[in-house]
Amino acid sequence: MYTISKNLKLTAIILMVVGAIGLIYGFINVPSSVEEVHEILASSDAHGHADEAHAHDDEHAEHVFHQLQNKPWASIYTAALFFFLIAAGALAFYAIQNAAQAGWSPILFRVMEGISAYIFPGGVIVFVLLVLSSLHLNHLFIWMDADVVAHDEIIANKTGYLNIPFFLIRAAIYIVGWAFFYSRLRKNSIKLDEGFDPALFKKNFKLSAGFLVFFIVTESMLSWDFIMSIDTHWFSTLFGWFVFASMFVSGITVIALVTLYLKSKGYLEQVNNSHIHDLAKFMFGISIFWEYLWFSQFLLIWYANIPEEAVYYVQRIEQYPLLFFGTFFLNFLLPMLILINTEFKRIPWIVSLAGVIILVGHYINFYVMIMPGTVGESWSFGAAEIGSVLLIGGLFLYVIFNALTKAPLVAKNFPLLKESKHFHY
């Protein structure tokens, strides 16, 4: 049985405490009035987008005021959604292994289950943030503002789908549905430790197949609701796949990093270089798939030059150029160059380096998807952003490693376990 170390537990707690302090400071530090924004714009060029004329423009100052008030909310929302979807990506990978009856991966199942354990607490945090948005404590979703809808024909035409009650009902279905499938899969997996039962194996096969059908539909809808609806005028038929690629490769990356950490501590002795090699292959392959979707979505919209679609990229290229194009290097070019060599996929520190780059890159990817529609040009990496990542990241670490202590790290009686133990590529 795995026992979480005191150092790891302390690290997770410190991250949460420091993160909470940073986030609270971010909320306290936002301007409390439009007049204060006037003073900021007049006295400083900190927001290089402001000039002397804007400093005396009430409409512009009010716009910046709402952006800055949104900033800590958008920061915690981005971090909460990112880590929640990492857990969902790990669960999707776990379900694929079960449904495919893969022989190489059963020795890693408990790691996948441990990471997926964050789905429920992570989902609750995201849902609470959505409820607070619906109570108008922030302006993350402009379609929730009745005054905006009344004066915007495009948004008004979407109210049949984008309305608060239906939105929250859908959100609850996504989160509860994913958590339900996880709990059933986990329960049956632990029962198999007591003795092999073909019925339990078949149940998990059917549950995994059922979850994948449910997941592919709800993941697309979730990406429309939780992210794409922030930019309410814009839409993309590739968006669900784009978000899936990001969360899927992030989930696989965390599986690899947790596996390497446990192995370095003397656990999972029968995990060999071939298992790490296969995880690294998925990290490599899905990074290329993400880049294909990133470029395809961008190229088709940019080339068509349809104003209501191109504005999405115009804003990001003009206001977030370093982050927008930086994702190309962090999420595709560097992982490809690092992991393209077969031998590199077997070296723990190289896989770990690639994993850290991928996770940083995909957090920035989520940041670029969410921030332009919520804070516009008033973005920056400050206490709220760093604090949010530390707070949610610390909770994420605590939950997944605590879950790993609840059952043996190897699923004892899984029928393909022997094949997995002797897997060599």
Q: What pLDDT is recorded for position 53?
A: 44
With 90 as the cut, is the pLDDT of residue 298 above it?
no
Q: What pLDDT is recorded for position 237?
A: 87
User: Is the C-alpha dihedral spanning 28, 33, 35, 41 positive or negative?
Assistant: positive
Name the percent of the chain lying above pLDDT 70: 96
With 50 as the cut, is the pLDDT of residue 52 above it?
no
Average pLDDT estimate for 276-297: 96
Mean pLDDT (the chain, rounded): 92
Average pLDDT estimate for 62-67: 80
With 90 as the cut, is the pLDDT of residue 316 above it?
yes
Q: What pLDDT is recorded for position 45?
A: 52
Q: Mapped to the 3 state alphabet, what secondary structure does the chain carry?
A: CCCCCHHHHHHHHHHHHHHHHHHHHHHHCCCCCHHHHHHHHHHCCCCCCCCHHHHCCHHHHHHHHHHHHHHHHHHHHHHHHHHHHHHHHHHHHHHHHHHHCCCCCHHHHHHHHHHHCCHHHHHHHHHHHHHHHHCCCCCCCHHHCHHHHHCCHHHHCCCCCCCHHHHHHHHHHHHHHHHHHHHHHHHHHHHHHHCCCHHHHHHHHHHHHHHHHHHHHHHHHHHHHHCHHHCCCCCCCCHHHHHHHHHHHHHHHHHHHHHHHHHHCCCCCCCCHHHHHHHHHHHHHHHHHHHHHHHHHHHHHHHHCCHHHHHHHHHHHHHCHHHHHHHHHHHHHHHHHHHCCCHHHHCHHHHHHHHHHHHHHHHHHHHHHHHHHHCCCCCCCCHHHHHHHHHHHHHHHHHHHHHHCCCCCCCCCCCCHHHHHCCCC
Q: Are 182 and 117 in contact (CB under 8 A)?
A: yes
Q: What is the pLDDT of residues 100-141, one digit of tens each?
A: 999 999 999 999 999 999 999 999 999 999 999 999 999 999
**Residue 169, token pair as written in the block:** 């009902």
Among 40-49, 79-88, 290-299, 329-338, which stretch is predicted with the lowest mean pLDDT? 40-49
Q: What is the pLDDT of residues 383-403, one digit of tens each?
A: 999 999 999 999 999 999 999
Name the percent of the chain lying above pLDDT 90: 80
Domain ranges for the chain, please list them.
73-421
C-alpha Rg value of the chain to the nearest Å:
22
Average pLDDT estimate for 73-88: 98
